[in-house]
Chain A
Amino acid sequence: GESVGLHLPTLSVQEGDNSIINCAYSNSASDYFIWYKQESGKGPQFIIDIRSNMDKRQGQRVTVLLNKTVKHLSLQIAATQPGDSAVYFCAESRMDSSYKLIFGSGTRLLVRP
């Protein structure tokens, strides 16, 4: 379910290192997942998505992994840069709810120079 009431956990990484941001989802019927990046005072921006018939998808410097067995989603950012500092949200949706997007609680990523 949604965890919108929780304060955001923070992940601090050194510039150039790889970052891994995790997300647990609750509904086993969810079949479409998205990662978003939100910078301060702005709306979320799409990063990458994955469907439940896949377990890995790669983009530019980002990889999303999906483990349906344990209902876990992760976002890997390679060679993290200062511009990657933001809040990252996972979102899930499923057919029986008209694919409306439900967001996870989010993680704040801080990149140390």
Chain B
Amino acid sequence: SQTIHQWPATLVQPVGSPLSLECTVEGTSNPNLYWYRQAAGRGLQLLFYSVGIGQISSEVPQNLSASRPQDRQFILSSKKLLLSDSGFYLCAWSDDRGGGTEAFFGQGTRLTVV
């Protein structure tokens, strides 16, 4: 069966510090991968979407970047965090079957920038 791992669960970082959040998927190959951000009490904003290794689309202008060094690994990074980067970050994957399929989410990382 497929599983998705996202870590850490919580993170408190000072303004200006770097960030690296990692997400890995097991039990599938060539998944579509997503990074979403959710502000408290709000909806999910798509940050990055990847359909393959090295293929990443950035959905909104921001202080973050994403990389996909391996087929089932998706990393969210920042060189210098801003206060506005605080939020709940969710990684997700879906099958690359075409025609649209559901995405499966990790448990999220709650990031607080202080």
User: Does A100 lie at the interface of the complex (its beta carbon under 8 Å from any beta carbon of B)?
Assistant: yes
A44 to B, closest residue via Cβ: B105
With A42-B108, A43-B90: A99-B100 Cβ-Cβ less than 8 Å = yes
Are A101 and B90 interface neighbours, CB within 8 A? no
Identity of the chain B residue whose Cβ is nearest the Cβ of A43 in the assembled complex: B105
Contact stretch, chosen from A5-13, A57-65, A66-74, A78-86: A5-13
Residues of B within 8 A of A42 (CB): 107-108
Q: How many positions in chain B have a CB within 8 Å of any CB in the partner chain?
A: 30
Complex Cα distance, B107 from A89, in Å, reads 16
B21 partner residues in chain A, CB cutoff 8 A = none
**Count of chain A residues with Cβ under 8 Å from any Cβ of B?**
32
Q: Considering the chains assembled together, what is the distance between the CA atoms of A95 and B104 in angstroms?
A: 19
Shortest beta-carbon distance from A92 to chain B in Å: 9
CB distance from B111 to the nearest CB of A (A): 13
**Contact A103-B100, Cβ < 8 Å, known A43-B90, A43-B105:** no
Taking a contact as CB atoms under 8 Å apart, the answer to whether B43 and A43 are in contact is: no
Contacts of A3 in B (CB 8 A): 43
Residues of B within 8 A of A (CB): 32, 34, 36, 38-39, 41-46, 49, 51, 57, 59, 90, 92, 94, 98-108, 110
- A residues adjacent to B (C-beta < 8 A): 2-8, 31-32, 34, 41-46, 49, 51, 89, 91, 93-95, 98-106
